[in-house]
């Protein structure tokens, strides 16, 4: 079995809980759809944990900000967090990011971080079968932080949700399992207080950086959903 994870965003306690759960489920492989970095305090340790497990990894938009030296075009708050993360991510880890692509195809599986029109930074808040570009059967994407699974006529679409910052109203860390013929969604509780403690330990004090974790929302409180279009 393969564990499909995404959007860890430096949330080490959440990643640890997911790794424990996928071990209990008997997964032999991990595929990460990107955004190991961003938002929380321990991206460097998250990188090392996935590398230690030989996970296949895609490049997310936050990972791209780290390696490219650019800021987030949508948020000055995120850009400030990126400055901290550039200090703790090692040069070796940055070099590792530079080997990642935002799109990966394996057999009948097509995987992107964002969407198939823009693998790095397209938000798929609405999904139809026409958005799933290619002749594959199974399509996986991250980026929205909204866990989704839908069977179209000829294709199966899954967003495993976010490990480190769920935004669908469920604060539990999200992931999916793929056994070669079936996709199953999973959620697991983790110690959000520990994530907050780690943020404070490196100097962050603004509650708006973590209050959202307790309700499963974006920073600021917005809860998102994905709409499936049948055409």
Residue-wise pLDDT for 44-78, tens only, equals 999 999 999 999 999 999 999 988 877 777 777 77
d(CA 155, CA 171): 29
Candidates 2, 76, 14; CA nearest to 210 is 14
Query: pLDDT of 73-101, one tens digit each?
Result: 777 777 788 889 999 999 999 999 989 99
Quickly state the pLDDT bin for 21 (edges 50, 70, 90). very high
> Which residue segment(s) compose the domain that 166 sits in?
2-229
CA distances in angstroms from 164 to 34, 38, 92, 131, 187, listed in the order given: 12, 10, 23, 26, 12
**Mean predicted confidence (pLDDT) in 189-216:** 96
CA-closest candidate to residue 99, choices 74, 148, 63: 63
- At residue 69, φ and ψ (nearest 5 deg) are 80, 10
Count of the separate structural domains present in the chain? 1
Evaluate if residue 24 carries a pLDDT over 80: yes
pLDDT for res 102: 94
Mean pLDDT value of segment 110-123 = 97
- Please tell me whether the overall predicted TM-score, pTM, comes out greater than 0.75 for this model: yes
Distance CA 103, CA 115 (A): 9
Residue 171 has pLDDT above 80, yes or no: yes
What is the structure's pLDDT at 68?
A: 86
- For the chain, give the mean pLDDT: 94
What's the pLDDT score for residue 229? 92
CATH of the domain at 109: 3.60.21.10
Tens digits of residue pLDDT in 128-140 = 999 999 889 999 9
User: What is the structure's pLDDT at 59?
Assistant: 97
Give yes or no for a contact between 112 and 58, defined as CB atoms under 8 angstroms apart. yes
């Amino acid at each position: 079995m393969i564990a499909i994870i995404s959007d860890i965003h430096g949330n080490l306690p959440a990643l640890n809980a997911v790794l424990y759960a996928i071990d209990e489920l008997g997964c032999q492989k991990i595929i990460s759809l990107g955004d190991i970095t961003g938002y929380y305090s321990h991206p460097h340790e998250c990188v090392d944990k996935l590398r230690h497990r030989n996970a296949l990894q895609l490049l997310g938009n936050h990972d791209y900000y780290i390696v490219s030296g650019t800021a987030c075009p949508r948020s000055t708050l995120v850009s400030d967090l990126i400055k901290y993360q550039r200090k703790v991510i090692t040069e070796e880890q940055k070099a590792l990011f530079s080997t990642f692509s935002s799109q990966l195809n394996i057999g009948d599986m097509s995987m992107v971080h964002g969407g198939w029109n823009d693998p790095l930074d397209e938000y798929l808040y609405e999904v139809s079968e026409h958005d799933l570009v290619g002749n594959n059967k199974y399509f996986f994407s991250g980026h929205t932080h909204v866990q989704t699974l839908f069977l179209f006529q000829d294709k199966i679409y899954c967003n495993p949700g976010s490990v480190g910052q769920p935004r669908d109203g469920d604060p539990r860390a999200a992931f999916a399992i793929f056994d070669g013929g079936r996709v199953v969604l999973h959620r697991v509780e983790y110690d959000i207080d520990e994530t907050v403690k780690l943020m404070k330990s490196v100097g962050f004090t603004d509650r708006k950086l973590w209050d959202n974790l307790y309700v499963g929302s974006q920073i600021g409180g917005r809860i998102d959903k994905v709409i499936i279009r049948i055409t």
